[in-house]
Amino acid sequence: MAIQRFFNLSKLEAFIFVIISIAFSVFMISGSPILGPVLDAISFVAAIITIYLFMRATEAAHLKRKIKPQEKIHQDDKEKTIEKAPEDQGREDAKSPVLEEKPERDKEPDPECLEEAKKYKEKGDRTTARALLLDAASRLNDPKYLYELGKLHLYAERAQDNDPNEAKKWFQKAADMNHPPSQRELGIMLYQGRGADPDYLAAAEQLRLAGDQEDHRAWLHLGYMYQFGGPGFSADENLAASYYLEASKSDDYSTREEAKNALEKLSL
């Protein structure tokens, strides 16, 4: 209906407007003096309605000016493609090189997660700390979080909270991913028989793997093994001295001093 569209009316409002307009026209044409008061009343109502409709139309026009019409996209335009010349395509490729996404394992550890886990661990909330590390380990596939899980179960503030079996499990998983600190911790546990029976040969193998990746503390413990020996593992002071010497090159002060002291005692 034209009136409905022009004045931005609902169907009911447009219908009432038409009925009143027709009634007003009929009464005006009749010119009956009896209907004078009625016509005055109808004229008053019609004037109010006219003002109301004018305000509605003005508001609608104002809204139309404020709202920008959206561009219409035809299906034919969607299906059209612009073919580029070979030289243009080459320039486009040079500007937009395709970057290969790094494997999950190469992603950097999340320092915030490690800090959060450390805070909960210090508060004694080991459950939350463990959950944070497990979540990070599963998302990033980084052995550092497995290593932290191992330490969480091996170096608790209270002895009763230590769980060597659980610690060994996480160190083993991280060691299998060629993580030097985990290989060192696993080697020490195997040497000391924590979480399992002592296995000197396996312990030495793990310590060597870690030492070959510049973990100088692994060389220190391998020196201890060769200095004192054990069941099925022959002592060799010359080898022990060579490993102490390697450990003494460490950047870590504690490791460096321990290695120097061990080397001095061995030479006495």
Question: What is the reported pLDDT for 116?
Answer: 81
CA distances from 148 to 100, 133, 216, 243, 251 (A): 30, 7, 19, 26, 22
The amino acid at residue 165 is: N
Question: What is the reported pLDDT for 262?
Answer: 95
57 pLDDT more than 60: no
| Residue range 110-213 in CATH 3.30.720.110 | no
Mean pLDDT value across the chain? 74
pLDDT classification of 236: cutoffs 50, 70, 90: very high
Residue indicated by tokens 């932290």: 148
25 pLDDT more than 90: no
220 pLDDT more than 50: yes
3-state secondary structure of 69: coil
Question: What is the reported pLDDT for 108?
Answer: 53
178 pLDDT more than 70: yes
pTM: 0.57
Rounded (10°) CA dihedral 56, 61, 67, 68: 160
Q: What is the pLDDT of residues 116-149, one digit of tens each?
A: 887 787 777 888 888 888 888 888 888 999 999 8
Q: What is the pLDDT of residues 183-192, one digit of tens each?
A: 999 999 999 9
Q: Distance between CA 152 and CA 176 in Å, rounded?
A: 19
Q: What is the pLDDT of residues 61-111, one digit of tens each?
A: 544 444 344 333 344 444 444 444 444 444 444 433 333 333 333 345 566
Dihedral over Cα of 121, 126, 128, 130: its sign: positive
Question: What is the reported pLDDT for 141?
Answer: 81
pLDDT classification of 155: cutoffs 50, 70, 90: confident
